[in-house]
Chain A
């Protein structure tokens, strides 16, 4: 067991980063277990102090002998708008369908929040998922830690948008995610467009001119950094050139400090570096995509992440064994 630790990956069994990390863990001699928390599977988790387990139709896995977990995604308890099968269930069954999903979510959430109490590692802590979903909260935490972030406005009030823009270059994006970052135009400032804000607020930010940089931080160390060349405002749209780079100690320290501030063990940090060398931190991602960056990395991010998880699992198992707990 000590030589082949079992590592849990919480997400979906067909999600590409879950599979990518599982493949790497297997190559490094660990036994990965993708723990599927999507809405449509038979509920797999049993919480019983000292006997926690995860079961599939094939077998039951004890969670007591597992000491390191990677959190890729925690699916919402909702009647999620896009979960067509659940929508059908809700139409047919009404409130009971929602109640079932809520109970499933509460059980997953409880187990994830208990892991640190049991001296188990969770990368990242479940509460940090909120940092991606509630972006103004993340920005305020960073701002209070004196980390430079863009001037930001979240509002449903068009007059506030006009005052905020004030002849500056502004971009906007959703508060929770789900759409690309876009440039605010004169047309966007017309009354009929601004009226739509009353339905749902939007996050507006000063546009920071400069070089896009993505830095990966793991366990308070920078493990990879990339410059991204893109024609669009949002480098996720269209084609982009990704180049691995070395970054200064000052920039490394900034990224590490940001991750510590937010409680992130692993993160993809997005920054803008201005021509004068100053840096603005755009966002720290609590469950970053890394497969695409690995195609350009000197040392694959996935191999470093897997090595870290395996090391943590082994050392925690050894500690528990010495203490007679496992």
Chain B
């Protein structure tokens, strides 16, 4: 099967949601990566629809 190549190569990699124009404060950095609960793992833009920040 032919490998899928996308015109927008940036879409081929996982992207976490990113904040706009913020300077991280110590102690809040964990929020930046938006860890999901005890199981860990980041919230990625492809997991939700509609919210800005996933580029």
Of all chain A residues, the one with the shortest Cβ separation from B8 is A179
Total A-B residue contacts, Cβ distance less than 8 Å: 148
How far is B49's CA from A131's CA once the two chains are assembled, in angstroms? 9
CB-defined contacts of B10 to chain A, threshold 8 Å: 178-180
Of all chain A residues, the one with the shortest Cβ separation from B7 is A196
B6 touches A130 (CB 8 A): no
- Range class of the B interface residue count: 35 or more
- Range class of the A interface residue count: 35 or more
Of all chain B residues, the one with the shortest Cβ separation from A181 is B55
Chain B residues 5-40 with CB under 8 Å of chain A are 5-8, 10-11, 14-15, 17-23, 28, 30-32, 34-37, 39
Chain A residues 109-151 with CB under 8 Å of chain B are 128-133
A289 touches B34 (CB 8 A): no
CB-defined contacts of B48 to chain A, threshold 8 Å: 73-76
Known: A174-B11, A179-B15, A289-B19. A13 touches B51 (CB 8 A): no
Chain A residues 171-224 with CB under 8 Å of chain B are 172-174, 176-180, 182, 188, 193-194, 196-197, 199-200, 202
CB-defined contacts of A133 to chain B, threshold 8 Å: 49-50
Chain A residues 57-89 with CB under 8 Å of chain B are 72-76, 80-85
Tell me whether A162 is interfacial, beta carbon within 8 Å.
no
A178 touches B50 (CB 8 A): no
A180 touches B4 (CB 8 A): no
Interface residues of A (CB under 8 A from B): 11-17, 19, 36, 38-41, 72-76, 80-85, 128-133, 172-174, 176-180, 182, 188, 193-194, 196-197, 199-200, 202, 236, 240, 242, 268, 285-289, 291-293, 295-296
Interface residues of B (CB under 8 A from A): 4-8, 10-11, 14-15, 17-23, 28, 30-32, 34-37, 39, 41-55
Offer 18 A-B interface pairs, CB within 8 angstroms, sorted by A: A16-B31, A17-B51, A38-B43, A38-B47, A40-B41, A41-B37, A73-B48, A73-B51, A75-B48, A83-B44, A130-B50, A173-B8, A174-B11, A177-B45, A178-B15, A180-B10, A236-B20, A240-B21
